[in-house]
Structure 1
Amino acid sequence: MTPLVVRPEPQNHSLCDALRQAGHRPVATPLLAFAPGAGLEQVPALLNQLGCRDYVIAVSAQAVNFADNALKNQGQRWPDATYVAVGEATGQAFAAVGVTNALVPDDPRSEGMIALPQLQQPAGRRAVILRGDGGRHMMAPALAERGAQVEYCEVYRRCYREDTDGQLVKEWQRHGVDSIIITSGGLLQHLFQLAANSAKDWLLSRLLIVPSIRVVEQAKALGFTHIINAKGASNPALLSALDERKRND
């Protein structure tokens, strides 16, 4: 298959390598890059205040990586705390920086994190949520209602690639893109907005690989009809979903 891979670097490169090894012909077009967020400098001080019963919650691998760099710049390590990752890819990012005991829910969404047994009685504990600009606002209210003291920390911001002259879509069509791998709702929305009106039908007819049921629902609302839920944003999960469709064909 010829999948379009729009996730940011370096994940884009590693996913394309895995796809080629599996016999696919990926078209790499990163549509998203990341820059330091408004709260990044606060990370060392915030995490330094946490105790072993408190929570550090990361909503993406990027949140982990940016926070880790901020800690290293101050000569500081990740504290002894309870760590929660939104999904497998974020859990792997934690492991890569030395946090090997992060909790990873089966459902890679805020709903999955909220349902974890370890988060059912957080009363009196602090919770720092590492995230980017924007995003959903479900975790903090749910934990606060259960008695936790919650604080968001915006450690990165998203910078989406533009396509003012419509050349990107034309390039994808020339390469014969038959499928698209999407790893977040934000990327899906931006991709949809990039396609000119004349290319909407082409875009919506592609096979779409997405990481969660939430993005499935978002894709359906936009008009996509050929959707596979990879149930994760890791390379193995995405590749397995694409290979499943290839075998079925």
Structure 2
Amino acid sequence: MATKLLSVFNPRFGSKGQALHQALQNENFTPLSIPLLAIEVGVDKTCFYHAIRDSLARNLAPRLIVTSANTLSAFEQCDAAIKKQLINWPCFAIGKATQQALLAYGFKQVCCADSDTSEALLAKIKLGSTDQQTYWIIKGEGGRNTLLQGLKQLDHQVATFAVYKRCWLSISYQQAQAIAQQDAWLITSGEMLLHLQQELQNHGVSCRASTLIFVPSQRIVDIARQNQIENVINCQSALNSNMITVLKSLNKGFRGTN
């Protein structure tokens, strides 16, 4: 039986989904691109903008913790004069993909932990200065409060801004069948994995026992196992390049069906 190039489910949306689709094709994979979520404006986007202006007027520079590249639309509302000052603020990113997005925006100081989790970033912050600091957590609506609780326990001043909202999308029966037949899935969050699992169950569809699920952190591996989802591989990062590198390394020994 000849070695088969992997067919890969790509659930990312917008420009990120298009970039991943093209990157997979460039490496001779066969992508199936069906977005599982869309991003809308969060309740705190305008409040965040006014907080930035107020802090600049008072010569304050809080430490920013940015949980996702999806927050970048909130920064893009700043005009050139504000951005020129904002990019000098110290910034922490969850995940290398978020770090790269912030550096591309222009931030000069972007610290990132080795793992794409709140726990890893919190541990890195604990190793830094013990002086009381002011942190702003820039995030999506909902989600966990690990960073907020951890920073408060360290006696830091913390504010949170929910600048975007995840809107999970339904899939059709035909889409569910197509996704279930893919050799590999690229999943970037535990919430995404559980949403997909529920969508497949709603249609009475099960994925192939041989399907490989690639995720960016051990936390998502643990979530998968807790929900009886097998064949999960930790890529250590949500960067397209990292996930595709792991795909390529496993593809060398993969034998699919004809």
Does the residue aligned with 1:162 lie in a helix, a strand or coil? coil
Aligned pair count reads 243
* 2:201 maps to 1:193: no
* 2:86 maps to 1:81: no
Distance 1:54 1:203, change over 3 A: farther
- Within 5 Å, give how 1:1-249 maps onto structure 2: 1-48=6-53, 49=55, 54-63=62-71, 65-72=72-79, 76-77=82-83, 78=86, 80-117=88-125, 120-121=128-129, 123-163=131-171, 165-173=172-180, 176-196=181-201, 198-200=204-206, 202=207, 205-249=210-254
TM-score calculated relative to the size of structure 1 = 0.90
CA distance in structure 1 between the aligned counterparts of 2:185 and 2:195, rounded to whole angstroms = 13
Structure 1: which 5+ runs fail to align?
Answer: none
CA distance in structure 2 between the aligned counterparts of 1:97 and 1:179, rounded to whole angstroms = 32
After the TM superposition, list the runs of 4 or more consecutive aligned residues in structure 1 that deviate by more than 6 angstroms: none
CA distance in structure 2 between the aligned counterparts of 1:44 and 1:120, rounded to whole angstroms = 28
Deviation at 1:172, TM superposition (A): 3.0
The answer on whether the counterparts of 2:89 and 2:107 sit within 8 Å (CA) in structure 1 is no
TM-score calculated relative to the size of structure 2 = 0.87
Q: Among the aligned pairs, what percent are the same residue?
A: 26
CA distance in structure 2 between the aligned counterparts of 1:213 and 1:232, rounded to whole angstroms = 10
The letter for the 2-side match of 1:35 is E
Does the residue aligned with 1:154 lie in a helix, a strand or coil? strand
CA distance in structure 2 between the aligned counterparts of 1:25 and 1:79, rounded to whole angstroms = 39
The letter for the 2-side match of 1:44 is Y
- CA deviations over 1:216-244 (Å, ceiling 9, x no partner): 11111222221111111111111011112
Does the residue aligned with 1:45 lie in a helix, a strand or coil? helix
* Structure showing greater Rg: 2
Structure 2: which 5+ runs fail to align?
Answer: 1-5
Deviation at 1:178, TM superposition (A): 1.1
